[in-house]
Structure 1
Amino acid sequence: MTHTVPPFVHLHVHTQYSLLDGAIRIDALLKRAIDFGMDSVAITDHGTMFGVLEFFEKAGKAGVKPIIGCECYVAPRNLTDKTPLDNKGLSHLVLLAENPEGYRNLCKLATIAQLKGFYHRPRIDKNVLREHSKGLIALSACLHGEIPRLISENRLDEADDAARTYFDIFGEDNFFLEVQGNGIHVQEKVNKALLDMSERLSIPLVATNDCHYLDKEDARAHEILLCIQTGKTIYDPDHFRFGTDQLYFKSREEMHNYFGSYPGALENTVSIAKRSNVDFDFKTYHFPKFETPSGQTAEEFFEQKALEGYNQKIKRIKEKNPGIDESQYKERIKSEISTINSMGFSGYFLIVADFIDYAKKHDIPVGPGRGSAAGSLVAYSLGITDLDPIEHGLIFERFLNPGRKSMPDIDVDFCINGREEIFRYVVEKYGGGEYVAQIITFGKLKTRAVIRDVGRALDIPLHEVDAIAKMVPDVLNISLENTLKQEPKLRAIAEKKPEIDDLLKVCSVLEGLPRHASTHAAGLVIADKPLVEYLPLYKGKKGEVLTQFDMKCVEKIGLVKFDFLGLRNLTVIASTLSRVAKQGGTVPDLTNINLDDPDTYRLLVSGDTVGVFQLESSGMKDLLVRLRPECFDDIIALVALYRPGPMESGMIDDYVERKHGKKEAKYLLPELEPILKETYGVIVYQEQVMRIAASVADYSMSDADDLRKAMGKKKPAIMARQRLRFIRGATERGIQSPKAKTLFDLIEKFGGYGFNKSHSAAYALIAYQTAFLKAHFPVEFMASLLTSEIHSIDGVVKYIAECRHHGIQVLPADINESDKEFTVIGSKIRFGLVAVKNVGEGAIEFIIEARKEGRFSSLFDFCERVDLKKANKRVIESLIKCGAFDSTGANRAQMVASLEDALDYGQRIQKERADPQMGLFKTEGVGQDINLPKMPSMDEWDEKQLLAFEKEALGFYITGHPLTKFEDLLDKFTNANTISLMEKNDGEIVRVGGIII
């Protein structure tokens, strides 16, 4: 497009990262800037810098110069002064980074605002502005800026003083008075005053438009976005709005038409853009420092610890396999240590080993490995993983490629209950909130969510909005556009009902915008110096320190992230071992477990794997029965094979038939047999592709990893180069070209489905451990499973059914025997009190404490001894209805009928006991003058009522089931139940049975 007007640059723009306020997507912003002939553009989101790196990268690719900024909130007094009056005087101020120092100062200001000055909004003050002003250009902002607000209130002398203060803070040429053409009446008055102030005080003007949405037509959608933010409807007379439709991304022509007579206001946007030069270093890793003892370097200490660990491991390996060839271990450990040190990763390994060691010493279960790290002998030696990589044929280069410097990625699974303690340890040891932070993530206005949010803002009846939201197909990340294509009913409703048509049009503008910031479930970053030197920080809802950049952006600027994942199954394993110990059993050492246990394989072959990690889905159970695993390698293969690609390609059928001799295992070349023999000639693992490339085509392991990576990306140009390289290497080793081509075709086809064997082996070990525990300690294992799902009705129902299948009786909750969790009572399991609805942990603690004085003999005894402020009527009624008071002798109907009397009796006793006057006398006679109520004589509820109340209290039935009497009929006429229904294929014909209650 040819432009006849001079250039202009937008310096005040709110993107999608001004959460629930900005509605401009970064991609659309850059496209519009290009369309308007603007070679530069700024982003200035409210109080945060969430989108800075995404904007910087995308702008660079689009050929637009990015200007990094933020619209800050300035407190009228000290940022620590959080009196309510402060927010009335909260002022906006636009800050732009002129250079790298300015970027760092902007990060520091955004961080201070979050961590020290937050009060409804992230705030800074003029003192910290003065301290961190270098390299920053400031604009006086919108009508909420201090100077425009004072002008609008006719406090002109104070406005002059404020302007002089900002001019003094930022210096000549770095503070500008911001004029806007936003269509708001008072803005005209402010603009004239700013023009006059500019002439009087010699402070330059700059024109902006405070852009919040891309097009003028989006103003209404933006107003609705503000309603979502404030929880109001658009029809609420006092809902927050801007009162104009002019805050869109205006063209050069529009800005020149409005501000052509304002001296320098337009030209200054261009000069500021030229002066703003910030860059990011995407090539340098910023490794955290590990403090070593005795003045050793990190490399020296790393080598020492790795060799110490290796010597311990090799001793155990030799005890287990006396004839082992130790030379390959020695060569491997030496090579890995050298590679890790040369790549500068020694400190990283020491830190990971340190927090894993802390976890193990504090009885926090740690997974045996995750991902490709299980392929490292150093990781095994340092205690990071629990698998011998040489024994299981795992490759170091799959984890760390010496020919391609990229960060090692050691993800660690921890017991869910101990993960937070590990977070705290790392934060305390490695520098607190300055050097360590969790990583931010953003929840988005996805299709269903945006329909519900916009529907509320438009005040459409909830049932109508819910019906529309439920029409969205249950497809991951489906868009509104695709929903309308797939759902003709929705299109028809929109055509008939204008309000629904309006709803969907607004949703199409707002869909996908970030809705809120939250804490990433696993990510943690540790830096070599204060994080604000690299990025701004944010305060999470629980007060935790977060990065303002998401995980991808954190990695791109070279910061080192660690993933601490919570794995429920580790909690189940630890709980099972604890229960075995409490029962006086011999606790197995799972780190040195027998991988050839016959009872475990009998369980696996039978498909009896409910509760077994990775192996409990109906499809996996069927595969177990078909495959009949006989060794640990079979379990590794199962974990790798049970995925959509292998299932759809026929690989699984091929593997099963070859294992059982129904199909011959053929090898295209003799060199392939030692590599593929463990999987009967089928390429199952990525590591097999790497070994084939090395053995057949003379690839180094580093180059073979490049081939593996290329297969995963499936980029034609890269694969074409790899094909030529592979065929050339194979033919040079004497393999005929046609066979080389056929082999490459084979590995390209099946290698694309290949899975990371290191990860499969690590997770197969957890699968085996859980199967072992189920086979040998079924009661303790099931009690642990039930406890792990104690807050999930579906989970508890599933595992109670499994207990019944194995003849393990699950006893109802009992006020005299139940603990908080499910407990083992001999060969039975006692229900946990936490699983009872309305019964909180506080009430349970008081019940258990009172029970130490002796069993509860009756409902009245319970109400006398337990604090009724904690265990109130609602709590006790739920306990009665689920059967927890059955052991006291009365029936449930009697106890519910007596509850009011029991509560009154207990409260009177407790009141008398609490009377300070009683301290003057013996307390033995407390309550003697209060008559013990009598339990009414009445029959128990009938079975239907009894079960209904159980379901009310628990969410499911425990002592029976309404369908039990129809069991034979259901077996005869149905082929599914409510659990198996979830695992049926789409379109499959099913028959279920039930009763109307």
Structure 2
Amino acid sequence: MYLNCHSTFSLRYGTLSEEELLALAEHYDLDCIALTDINNTSAGLNFVRKAKEKNIKPVLGIDFRNGIEQCYVTLAKNNEGYLELNNFLAQHLHKKIDFPEIAPAFENAFTIYAFERALELDKTHFTENEFIGIGIHDLNKLRFSQYSTYHDKLVLLLPVSFNSKKDFNAHRLLRAIDLNCLLSKLPKEEQALPDEIMFAPKKIENLFKDYPQIVSNSQEVLKSCNLNFKFAKERQNQNLKTVFGSEQNDYNKLLALCKKGLKERYEEITTEITDRLEKELKLIKKKDFVSFFLINWKIIEYARSKDYFYVGRGSGANSIVAYLLRITDVDPIELDLYFERFMNEYRSSPPDFDIDFSTWDREDVTAYIFEEFGKNNQVALLGSYVTFKHSGAVRELGKVFGLPKTEIDKLSSGKFKASELDTISQLILKYAAYFHKKPNYLSIHAGGILISDKPIHYFSATHLPPKNFPTVQFDMHVAEDVGLCKFDILGQRGLGKIKDAVSIIKQNQPEAQLLDIRNPKPFFTDPNINAMIARAECIGCFYVESPAMRMLLKKLAVNDYQTLVAASSIIRPGVAKSGMMREYILRHRNSERRKEAHPVLWKIMPDTYGIMVYQEDVIKVAHHYAKLTLDEADVLRRGMSGKFRSREEFQYVKDKFRSNCIANGEPEDVVDEIWRQIESFAGYAFAKGHSASYAVESYQSLYLKCYFPLEYMVATLNNGGGFYKAEFYIHEAKMHGASIEAPCINKSEIQTSIYGNTIYLGLQHLEGLEKKTMLGIINNRVHSKYTSYDDFIQRVPISLEQQEILIRIGALRSLGKDKHSLLWEAHYKENTIPENESQQSFFKISLQNFTLPTFKTSKVEDAFDHMELLGFSLFNPFFLMKKSLADYLLAKELKLYIDQNVKVAGYLVTFKNTKTAKGLRMIFGTFLDLDGAWIDTVLFPEVANKYPIYARGLYHIEAKVTSEFDFITLEVSKIERLPYLADPRFATSVSGGNKPALKTGS
């Protein structure tokens, strides 16, 4: 009966979720309804899955519209029809062209033209699959129209877009947001009619009592539509079935690759290795995952052929097959990785392989995947939904209601008294809450790619986001439900650092003995690297440089690969939240403490002292402690994150966990505590193989940092840094003996470069310097350096404002003149610059020489220019401190003052606002001391509220020195920002007869 229902994925139009639509259908005892979202198929598969759960027959179609104007509503007769509709929609979305007035002749889909639309087109011929849609408002006109005799072609067209007055108001607000107009200015034609609601069947039959055939025709159309998608336990593997022509060919290829990998990976092939391999291969074949491994192998082979650095991680890193195929560099035998986390008899989806590439290489790898596997339209990026968040919804609604920016800011920030809000503000907050988590627009998954055996449009239409790769309109949860398992191809700056560092080392130290980065095992046992980890001197290194990780490394005294693997997962928020991070540290450092472990948990997880650290630990505990099947245990693990937690199967397993434990005689308080630990951490923890993959990359970067610190810091700067700002990687390079030079027109490139121990900052670090200026400097010095100011401005087309930036930072210092002289000269000669900056002179222009007084430039002035143009000073930041430094302790002295109150001066590196268990704000702050050493502080709620840290700069800190597991932290009692010296650039006079220093470009 209902052939035209819209969900919230009729973006910025519909107001009902697919579940709410089905609940309405259930309320009215409807046994079948059609979902036809506007130019969108995001909700389609989930609608089908949910409808079957309610014993409602689902029909899918698309409401094709140009803007708000409806062209036609279509319904898929079957899966082939859905493919036709998705092909048609995708073609127009990709090309960004309007839909034609007349729909193509779909073989397996129905097309319905609204009554008024059919009249407008003067359409008199209708194919077998075409119909005329009659709404309630069309009944009186139908009697006197040419279509009154088209009995077999008339069907109901009763759009459903909302269910209440509030929904309709929300619809109008969504339309205003979409059109970026005031609600009061929203045109009537840009919104739906208020009666786009679901009526009781009896009412429909009564309204159409004079045309009963319209109702029966509609029922017949729905009856003839039959889609077949399988979900959950019934789902089929929809990924590409074969890579080398047949399943047998694929398996033979996999065997050959594993045999080759054994020789390359292991010096001695033990029975443990061969048994594990045989076990994996048998299950991979049985579960029909052979092609999944081969696809990942082909991706890796392409990357290796291009010499791209990569890291394979995810639960697939638990696999020896993955290790032999070089998808990962983690040896599951060495780490005793849990086989059942990788795969078990009950697992219906293949393991995750997250493959990281540097950002630049990732685009090429993605293009390769589309070219290699997408010849029959079988590849697409995975979509995701950007939903309305409270703050964003408030801002959008504030604009729709015409509120001034100040009022919108106040509402968005939450800094208001509810009792003082006017009616409009209350409405905004009411509807912002209503919109919360509803879809706003489509986006792209961070790295998911689907490679389907069938054409991808069999499941969804695709659109073409800015990345220019076809992208499905549903998310990872829907893909997994229907049997499409994603391939994760991700971009990561850490790999860019490693790749660039290797290149920079070869250029700067061509005689250096550089070990093969792709073979990390020698790094694991290198005493110099492990000593560096134990000291937590890991700034710039992948995953181990943050303040929290530095703290953990010191507390654990990490000095080997295995412990770093554990640390990579322990640092995750779930383990800390469960209280097990501290317990792990205690048991790691104190063998007596280990005796407190639950005997069953100790037996299950001896390598982590009976503490759940990795994702597979949930499976182990659920299977061995709670006696759940491996299938149920995996449901538990998966249910700990995302929307899966609310599903019935998860609730069933959760209940069974407790009942089984109690039936086995376990004390209720112990069972509840173990469940609390599972619930608090499992959604955030890593699989052990994943942690091991992270640790491999950490060791690769640690090796470079240990033996080639300057080149590695340059690579870090050129790849966007890491956890910290560029300033602190420059500081780190200084601490390792680098001489840091400001950008220079004769030495610097766009990126930072190194010559021996001297690092020249790249031109890209200069605030306000345009890309065309950088290119002009580089391109015009290819054959010779700049010899004078006149030579420079005649060869490089550049504005006065751009010159000022370069002069003030000292980039023209190699020309032999001070910055003040150059600024005077630049202003004097401004009129000699060609009006068209892009046009260079064919002949040298004769420029008048003149005599200038002698200028003096102070380091303080240079420091302030650095801060303005680079964002930081290249001098020691304490150089600008006004107060005497005599009374302050250094970081290296703090261990002599444990439990005593001290004063230190700190330069703020970073700070983190967090909350206590009671919801009170506290702050963790990291500083540099006078010598450039790192200081870690904590401000508990009372101090954090009294002395909030809010800006960079120098700080006076009074604190108590505390030490926990040999990690020193200052518990701050007082902190205040210290003043800088006066900025001489604003001085009213300069001694020695000099004119006032020019302050330009500010």
Same fold (TM over 0.5): yes
Alignment of 1:526-925 (within 5 A): 526-584=451-509, 585-590=512-517, 591-592=519-520, 593-661=522-590, 663-666=592-595, 676-680=605-609, 682-685=611-614, 687=616, 717-718=652-653, 753=681, 755=685, 756-789=687-720, 795-806=725-736, 808-866=738-796, 868=797, 871-900=798-827, 902=829, 904-907=831-834
The count of corresponding residues between Structure 1 and Structure 2 is 896
1:514 lines up with 2:439 in the alignment: yes
CA distance in 2 between partners of 1:938 and 1:249 (Å): 86
Instruction: Determine the structure 1 residue equivalent to 2:63.
Output: 71
Local SS of the residue matching 1:549: coil
CA distance in 1 between partners of 2:826 and 2:725 (Å): 32
Instruction: Determine the structure 2 residue equivalent to 1:353.
Output: 297
Alignment of 1:75-94 (within 5 A): 92-94=71-73
Instruction: Determine the structure 1 residue equivalent to 2:953.
Output: none
Q: 1:727 to 1:218 in 2, by over 3 A?
A: closer
1:543 aligned partner, one-letter code: N
Instruction: Determine the structure 1 residue equivalent to 2:261.
Output: 309
1:626 aligned partner, one-letter code: K
Q: 1:904 to 1:256 in 2, by over 3 A?
A: farther
Alignment of 1:185-264 (within 5 A): 192=141, 196-202=145-151, 204-236=153-185, 241-242=190-191, 244-252=193-201, 255=204, 259-262=208-211, 264=213
Contact kept in structure 2, 1:950 and 1:956, CA below 8 Å: yes
Local SS of the residue matching 1:982: strand
1:109 lines up with 2:88 in the alignment: yes
String of CA shifts for 1:746-781, please: whole Å, max 9, x gaps: 976766657522122111222222223222221112
CA distance in 2 between partners of 1:573 and 1:967 (Å): 42
Q: 1:459 to 1:717 in 2, by over 3 A?
A: closer
Alpha-carbon deviation of 1:265? 3.6
Instruction: Determine the structure 2 residue equivalent to 1:276.
Output: 225
CA distance in 2 between partners of 1:568 and 1:897 (Å): 42
1:30 alignment partner, one of 22, 33, 55: 22
Unaligned runs of 5+ in 2: 890-901, 916-920, 923-939, 948-974, 984-1002
CA distance in 1 between partners of 2:363 and 2:543 (Å): 25
Instruction: Determine the structure 1 residue equivalent to 2:988.
Output: none
Alpha-carbon deviation of 1:676? 4.8
CA distance in 1 between partners of 2:615 and 2:534 (Å): 27
String of CA shifts for 1:838-887, please: whole Å, max 9, x gaps: 33444423321211222223333222112x2xx54444333333332233
Q: 1:551 to 1:237 in 2, by over 3 A?
A: closer
CA distance in 2 between partners of 1:911 and 1:181 (Å): 65
String of CA shifts for 1:396-446, please: whole Å, max 9, x gaps: 321111333322322211112210010011111112471111122221221
1:19 aligned partner, one-letter code: L
1:930 lines up with 2:846 in the alignment: yes
Local SS of the residue matching 2:159: coil
Contact kept in structure 2, 1:860 and 1:906, CA below 8 Å: no
Instruction: Determine the structure 2 residue equivalent to 1:475.
Output: none
| Higher normalized strand content (fraction of residues) | 2
String of CA shifts for 1:331-352, please: whole Å, max 9, x gaps: 2222222221222111111110
Q: 1:907 to 1:654 in 2, by over 3 A?
A: same
Instruction: Determine the structure 2 residue equivalent to 1:44.
Output: 36
1:930 aligned partner, one-letter code: S
Instruction: Determine the structure 2 residue equivalent to 1:334.
Output: 278
2:881 aligned partner, one-letter code: T
Contact kept in structure 2, 1:411 and 1:564, CA below 8 Å: yes
CA distance in 2 between partners of 1:646 and 1:886 (Å): 53
String of CA shifts for 1:240-297, please: whole Å, max 9, x gaps: 7338544444455665675554553444444433333323133211231554399971
- Output the TM-score relative to the length of structure 2: 0.81
1:178 lines up with 2:133 in the alignment: yes
CA distance in 2 between partners of 1:669 and 1:554 (Å): 39
Local SS of the residue matching 1:797: helix
1:832 aligned partner, one-letter code: G
Alpha-carbon deviation of 1:800? 3.1
Q: 1:532 to 1:680 in 2, by over 3 A?
A: closer
1:129 lines up with 2:104 in the alignment: yes
Alpha-carbon deviation of 1:524? 0.6
Q: Percent identity?
A: 25
CA distance in 1 between partners of 2:723 and 2:261 (Å): 45
1:982 lines up with 2:912 in the alignment: yes
CA distance in 2 between partners of 1:263 and 1:710 (Å): 49
Local SS of the residue matching 1:992: strand
Q: 1:702 to 1:547 in 2, by over 3 A?
A: closer
1:11 lines up with 2:7 in the alignment: no
Instruction: Determine the structure 1 residue equivalent to 2:870.
Output: 954
Alpha-carbon deviation of 1:72? 1.6
1:957 aligned partner, one-letter code: S
Local SS of the residue matching 1:402: coil
Alpha-carbon deviation of 1:701? 8.1
1:362 lines up with 2:291 in the alignment: no
Local SS of the residue matching 1:665: helix
Contact kept in structure 2, 1:493 and 1:500, CA below 8 Å: no
Q: 1:552 to 1:909 in 2, by over 3 A?
A: closer
1:964 aligned partner, one-letter code: M
Instruction: Determine the structure 2 residue equivalent to 1:483.
Output: none
- Output the TM-score relative to the length of structure 1: 0.81
Instruction: Determine the structure 1 residue equivalent to 2:990.
Output: none
Contact kept in structure 1, 2:626 and 2:658, CA below 8 Å: no
CA distance in 2 between partners of 1:204 and 1:222 (Å): 31
Local SS of the residue matching 2:446: strand
Local SS of the residue matching 1:355: helix
Contact kept in structure 2, 1:655 and 1:679, CA below 8 Å: yes
Q: 1:949 to 1:976 in 2, by over 3 A?
A: closer
Contact kept in structure 2, 1:879 and 1:953, CA below 8 Å: no
String of CA shifts for 1:705-730, please: whole Å, max 9, x gaps: 688779997967536756787899xx
Local SS of the residue matching 1:907: coil
Alignment RMSD (CA, Å): 3.8
Q: 1:711 to 1:554 in 2, by over 3 A?
A: closer
Q: 1:408 to 1:950 in 2, by over 3 A?
A: same
1:491 lines up with 2:422 in the alignment: no
Q: 1:703 to 1:984 in 2, by over 3 A?
A: closer
Local SS of the residue matching 1:543: coil
CA distance in 2 between partners of 1:285 and 1:18 (Å): 29
1:379 aligned partner, one-letter code: A
CA distance in 2 between partners of 1:936 and 1:235 (Å): 65
Instruction: Determine the structure 2 residue equivalent to 1:81.
Output: none
Alpha-carbon deviation of 1:587? 1.8
